[in-house]
Amino acid sequence: MVSVRPDSMLTLHYRLAAPQGPDWINTFGHRPATLTLGAHQLAPALEACLVGLKEGAQAHFELLPDVAFGAHDPARVQRISRSALQSRLPEDVHIAVGDAVQLSGVTSASGASAAATVTAIRGDMVELDFNHPLAGKSVVFDVHILGVL
């Protein structure tokens, strides 16, 4: 049987969640995911869990915050005026607490579009958290490897 390598293309079902929280993503019961390891489609710690698994394997991993998505960094929480935020969003998008937003014209250190979660709205000020939504949390990662290329 074929084993997962650091550059493998995989078809798999996976579930990622905080231990007592709702699923952040879950492909079980839906269309499986297809991805290539090393292409930044999964966090490095999640990819590392997959390496060495054989086609057909099912596995359960529990990762501590520092291994999974790192600590929550308060410096990555920013306040911006609602009008300034709205100018970076499509016209038909209206924000609410809990929304995830992709900001046009703003990029992360890696060059990817900046994504944030709206954590508070007070008057004309909006608080945005640029941390990964699972930063600072332990995570559960369940996988079923369907195919390895």
Residue 12 has what pLDDT? 98
Give the C-alpha separation, 85 to 103, whole Å.
8
CATH of domain 9-70+134-148: 3.10.50.40
Residue 93 has what pLDDT? 78
Tens of pLDDT, residues 96-109: 999 998 876 665 55
Tens of pLDDT, residues 63-110: 999 999 999 999 999 999 998 888 877 777 788 999 998 876 665 555
Domains in the chain: boundaries:
9-70+134-148, 74-129
Residue 90 has what pLDDT? 76
CATH of domain 74-129: 2.40.10.330
Q: pTM of the predicted model, to two decimals?
A: 0.79
Q: What is the mean pLDDT of residues 123-146?
A: 95
